[in-house]
Structure 1
């Protein structure tokens, strides 16, 4: 066997072993969000490129591995309206477009990498993304609803954004 052929066969065998050992089975689940920051709105968010509208409620879909593994990270990006108290003119008025454009200039995009807490194959119920003050994010796959003593996210709703964030 030539040296090149030996290398190719070796690489092929290595690839087969890698495929059989790695459990890369994926499944789709619902995704939802909870905004904990008073006076703000999450306009939209994405998790690993899967985009959803903010405002709570479950949406389809996020794709995650069937089995949890250590170091499983999610890349989250979201747009915040930091001032939901603004009153815009009627959408049918001539002033609406310019007023909306001015208001939208205050929107802010945030990004965070978040590690997914461990779950077992029987207790994953989609992904819930919790938006906290200071552009912090927590995620859970818990089947327990927010507010339940068994839910791992304990931060209250309607938290105030501090004048200065730590770090």
Structure 2
């Protein structure tokens, strides 16, 4: 190879290197989409009440057994675009009455809690299920076996476009009047 050809090859390599560098700079200069603010709501699919819960230290409201939705708490900040590594930490306290109301109704509330309630506090870091650019509310699903699922959606449970495909929670064994 003569020096002229060698010079041409070096020149092409430099041109290629500059083109790659320019492309990297242009892509780095694209503004990151602004994060979105999402209200927090929860759905409880268990027989225990959710006494309290938080998502990344932002609190949601309490949830009855087999209930929830409806009210929103403020807020978590989410990326405008979903990413597979996106996770949140959920802390929650589950509780239930260990004796029927009829056997404890003569007690004060503090006495009822002391004698007849059971509580446990849990923490899990879980992925947020994929969401689109339209975003929505952050919805925490409390599932049997202390499992948690987190969705971001503008749709309520039972809607054909809700990403979970689930209906509103229902008690498979509703309590009798004596048990209430």
TM (norm. structure 2) is 0.64
Of 146, 155, 166, which aligns to 1:135?
146
Matches within 5 A, 1:65-144: 65-83=79-97, 86-87=100-101, 88-89=104-105, 95-104=108-117, 106-122=118-134, 124-144=135-155
More helix per residue = 2
Distance (whole Å) between structure 2 residues aligned to residue 111 and residue 120 of structure 1:
27
1:82·1:108 contact (CA, 8 Å) conserved in 2? no
TM (norm. structure 1) is 0.68
Distance (whole Å) between structure 1 residues aligned to residue 147 and residue 165 of structure 2:
14
Distance (whole Å) between structure 1 residues aligned to residue 98 and residue 80 of structure 2:
38
State the match for 2:159 in structure 1: 148
Larger Rg: 2
Structure 2 unaligned runs (5+)? 1-27, 173-180
| SS in structure 2 of the partner of residue 134 of structure 1 | helix
1:131·1:137 contact (CA, 8 Å) conserved in 2? yes
Q: RMSD value over aligned CA atoms? A: 2.9
Structure 1 unaligned runs (5+)? 1-18, 161-167
Compute the displacement of 1:28 (Å): 1.8
Distance (whole Å) between structure 1 residues aligned to residue 54 and residue 44 of structure 2:
14
Label 1:152 to 1:34 Cα distance change in 2 as closer, same or farther (>3 A). same
Distance (whole Å) between structure 2 residues aligned to residue 46 and residue 52 of structure 1:
6
The higher-RCO structure (CA 8 Å, 6+ apart) is 1
State the match for 1:62 in structure 2: 76
Of 43, 46, 59, which aligns to 2:51?
43
Count of matched residue pairs: 137
